[in-house]
């Protein structure tokens, strides 16, 4: 496998909740410094798959994973891999903005601090806020509460917080679903900037967003065999998925005749 | 009335909104809730009235020895040097030296000296005590009655709650008894209970909420803790007697630390018993507070590579702390007012030496109140009422301190 080209490689990755298989046999190669969108109807396991990538599913007691999930060729579910270290390397932005109840500065500095960041904290905060295109709006109120920001600003703060721990990959779980169109556009523009340095995987319900913002698109859907497990039915370049998909179900979904 | 629609098809005909009836039942319930509140307020006011009724009022007393036997100056014109002189002349030298050793006579305040004068030389003898209501409403009758029954008596309106009452030690004469020993005992009890129960209770709650797997055993433990909160306090007293007073006697009596001539009936045993008594409530309240911390916050912290302990220490605990403190305040307030377990673990009912270490003998305010209310003489009932006011004020002070502390700890942006 080409470790230089692909940041994340999954081989027959399945995610189970107890006896129930939520996501089945996912084999994907996710390219470095590209935006990969995961689309599909509600309840098909998109978020479950996304959370498996940085081992957030570890907190669900019955959840376990089979198959391989490789980051730079290392299986993230190998025994010797520490999930805390995985989450430092793979940052996450959640559906609803969830800043810490702290100042804007502390929101960004905290993750770096607990991970033993040795550099100049001030500089890190400034550069993270700049990368998240938030600096100009908050530079005068760094020590005020993050809760005073608008929803869109809070979400960009969460992105800045994720950037501050210098991850390789940023996972975004419907990052714009709680935001208005203008804030959504700001987030999408930001993603285009960020992909110069980071690999981004985004789950979205918004077809236009996937079409506009992503380079690759994975179409997920419940398996037809009645097991209610989600799986990837098609994975290709975004233009291909949206103009000329191979699978009829993808065609129906992206054109709005399905789901 | 909103006119029927003009389109000709039925709309809303299957509904019968009956607004009148809905408003009527709403009003009914509102008045039910209001009367519940009024009942609660009346009950509280009755309690306050009952206490105040006993703590103030007329008192009729006689002098066993007339002031004229000691001095020619009228009693309320005596000065401090005169009092010192009188006490020195009239007290036996043994008694005078003993008092002087406890606290140098010259450094005592005017009211302290006056009290000594009254207690040791004049020897007040209380003949009758009247309630506040009687004193206010039936002043004439009281005056008449006292004149007939006790022609030599002095009738005086008295507040039994005085600064002197708060700082005097226990005495066998109600007129000179105070609650200093009891207040100090209560403070020691609460301090020991806090030191023991807060860390243990919060720790247990953190483990149950953040670490323990959600299975049968942990839910059984939860249920049992809930049940323990309802166990009568006397049972905790029995537990304290068996565990702290008897079994752990070398520790609780201080023998392990070189304290001699003491047994297990110390303020330490009682404080630990109070701690155990408040543990279930502290655990339950802390669990609720920890549960109320939103999961999105934990996820955010895990998402930037925090370990479980860092999530708990930096996010869960600070955000749960106000709730934890509120619950713990309630639990420890209960401990401050408990009487039964203290009797079982051996609080002293008559003690005039301040508790000075965890291994001291002690008494507590509720014990003192209980003991005084069981006495036959009505002047003891009056000082019991005064002690109740002292207990209520102490409770209020401790709670206010805790609330201020809580507000200070509370993150300013939440």
| Structural domains of chain B sorted by starting position, each given as residue range(s) with its CATH number in brackets | 53-159 (no CATH), 180-409 (1.10.3720.10)
% of chain A surpassing 70 pLDDT: 98
* Window 118-147 of A, Cβ < 8 Å to B: 144-147
Cβ distance of B296 and A96 shorter than 8 Å = yes
The reported pTM is 0.82
| Residue B413 confidence (pLDDT) | 45
| Residue A171 confidence (pLDDT) | 94
Cβ distance of A110 and B213 shorter than 8 Å = no
Span A19-41, average pLDDT: 91
Span B73-97, average pLDDT: 79
| Residue A2 confidence (pLDDT) | 60
| Residue A224 confidence (pLDDT) | 76
Per-residue pLDDT at B411 exceeds 60 = no
pLDDT confidence bin for B5, thresholds 50/70/90? low
Span B58-70, average pLDDT: 81
% of chain B surpassing 70 pLDDT: 96
pLDDT digits (tens, 9 = 90+) for B145-162: 888 888 888 888 888 888
Per-residue pLDDT at B399 exceeds 50 = yes
Cβ distance of A114 and B413 shorter than 8 Å = no
Domains of chain A, by residue range, sit at: 6-99+168-254
Cβ distance of A145 and B412 shorter than 8 Å = yes
Residue of chain B nearest A53, judged by CA positions: B303
Residue of chain B nearest A157, judged by CA positions: B300
Per-residue pLDDT at A79 exceeds 50 = yes
Q: What b/e string do you get for B140-170 counting C-beta neighbours within 10 Å, with b at 16 or more?
A: eebeeebeeebeebebeebebbeeebeebbb
B319 touches chain A (CB under 8 A): yes
Cβ distance of B303 and A91 shorter than 8 Å = yes
pLDDT digits (tens, 9 = 90+) for B296-355: 999 999 999 899 999 999 999 988 988 898 888 888 888 888 888 888 887 777 777 778
| Residue B285 confidence (pLDDT) | 93
Cβ distance of A101 and B319 shorter than 8 Å = yes
- The per-residue pLDDT of chain A, averaged, comes to 89
A84 touches chain B (CB under 8 A): yes
pLDDT confidence bin for B6, thresholds 50/70/90? low
The C-alpha atoms of residue A131 and residue A193 are separated, in whole angstroms, by: 8
A102 touches chain B (CB under 8 A): yes
Span A248-257, average pLDDT: 85
| Residue A110 confidence (pLDDT) | 93
pLDDT digits (tens, 9 = 90+) for B93-136: 888 888 777 777 777 777 778 877 877 777 778 888 888 888 88
- CATH code of the domain occupying A6-99+168-254: 3.40.50.300
**In B, which residues are within 8 Å of A59 by CB distance?**
302
Closest in B214, B300, B310 to A100, CB measured: B300
| Residue B158 confidence (pLDDT) | 84
Instruction: Name the least confident of A52-61, A99-108, A248-257, B348-357.
Output: B348-357
pLDDT digits (tens, 9 = 90+) for B174-193: 788 888 888 998 999 999 99
ipTM associated with this complex: 0.90
A95 touches chain B (CB under 8 A): no
A238 alpha carbon, distance to own chain's centre? 17
Per-residue pLDDT at B36 exceeds 90 = yes
Cβ distance of A94 and B300 shorter than 8 Å = yes
């Amino acid at each position: 496998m080409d470790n230089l080209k692909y940041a994340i490689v999954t081989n027959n990755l399945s995610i189970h909740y107890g006896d129930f298989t939520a996501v089945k046999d996912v084999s994907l190669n996710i390219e470095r410094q590209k935006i990969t969108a995961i689309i599909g109807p509600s309840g098909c396991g998109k978020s479950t798959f996304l959370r498996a990538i940085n081992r957030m599913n570890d907190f669900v007691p019955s959840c376990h994973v089979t198959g391989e999930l490789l980051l730079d060729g290392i299986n993230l579910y190998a025994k010797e891999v520490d999930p805390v270290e995985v989450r430092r390397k793979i940052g996450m932005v959640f559906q609803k903005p969830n800043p810490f109840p702290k100042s804007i500065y502390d929101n960004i500095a905290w993750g770096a601090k607990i991970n033993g960041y040795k550099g100049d904290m001030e500089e890190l905060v400034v550069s993270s806020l700049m990368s998240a295109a938030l600096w100009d709006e908050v530079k005068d109120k760094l020590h005020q509460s993050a809760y005073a920001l608008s929803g869109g600003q809070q979400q960009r703060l969460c992105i800045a917080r994720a950037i501050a721990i210098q991850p390789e990959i940023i996972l975004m779980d419907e990052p714009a679903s709680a935001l208005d169109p203008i804030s959504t556009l700001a987030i999408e523009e930001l993603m285009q900037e960020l992909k110069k340095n980071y690999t981004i995987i985004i789950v979205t319900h918004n077809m236009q967003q996937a079409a506009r913002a992503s380079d690759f698109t994975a179409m997920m859907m419940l398996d037809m065999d009645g097991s209610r497990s989600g799986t990837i039915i098609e994975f290709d370049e975004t233009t291909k998925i949206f103009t000329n998909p191979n699978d009829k179900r993808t065609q129906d979904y992206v054109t709005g005749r399905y789901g | 009335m909103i006119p029927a629609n003009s389109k000709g098809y039925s709309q809303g005909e299957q509904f019968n909104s009956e607004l009148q009836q809905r408003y009527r039942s709403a009003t009914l319930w509102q008045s039910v809730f209001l009367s519940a509140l009024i009942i609660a307020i009346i009950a509280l006011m009755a309690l306050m009235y009952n206490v105040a009724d006993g703590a103030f009022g007329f008192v009729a007393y006689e002098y066993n020895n007339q002031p004229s036997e000691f001095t020619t100056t009228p009693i309320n014109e005596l000065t401090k040097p005169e009092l010192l002189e009188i006490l020195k002349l009239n007290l036996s030298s043994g008694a005078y030296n003993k008092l002087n050793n406890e606290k140098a006579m010259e450094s005592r305040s005017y009211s302290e000296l006056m009290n000594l004068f009254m207690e040791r030389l004049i020897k007040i003898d209380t003949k009758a005590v009247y309630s506040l209501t009687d004193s206010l409403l039936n002043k004439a009758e009281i005056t008449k009655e006292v004149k007939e029954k006790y022609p030599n008596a002095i009738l005086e309106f008295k507040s039994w709650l005085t600064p002197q009452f708060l700082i005097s030690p226990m005495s066998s004469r109600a007129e000179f008894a105070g609650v200093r020993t009891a207040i100090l005992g209560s403070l020691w009890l609460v301090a020991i209970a806090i030191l023991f129960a807060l860390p243990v209770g919060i720790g247990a709650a953190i483990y149950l909420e953040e670490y323990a797997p959600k299975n049968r055993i942990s839910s059984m433990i939860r249920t049992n803790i809930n049940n323990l909160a309802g166990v009568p306090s006397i049972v905790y007293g029995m537990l304290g007697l068996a565990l702290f007073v008897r079994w752990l006697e070398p520790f609780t009596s201080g023998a392990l630390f070189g304290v001699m001539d003491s047994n297990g009936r110390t303020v330490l045993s009682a404080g630990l018993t109070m701690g155990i008594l408040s543990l279930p409530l502290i655990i339950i309240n802390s669990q609720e507070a920890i549960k109320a911390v939103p999961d999105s916050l934990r996820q955010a912290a895990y998402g930037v590579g925090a370990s479980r302990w860092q999530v708990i220490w930096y996010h869960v605990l600070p955000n749960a702390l106000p709730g934890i403190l509120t619950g713990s305040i309630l639990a420890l307030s209960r401990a401050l007012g408990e009487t039964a377990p203290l009797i079982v673990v051996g609080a002293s009912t008559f003690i005039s030496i301040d508790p000075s270490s965890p291994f001291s003998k002690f008494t507590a305010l509720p014990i003192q109140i209980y003991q005084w209310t069981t006495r036959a003489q009505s002047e003891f009932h009056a000082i019991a009422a005064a002690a109740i006011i002292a207990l209520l004020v102490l409770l209020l002070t401790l709670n206010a301190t805790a609330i201020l502390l809580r507000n200070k700890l509370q993150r300013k942006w939440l």
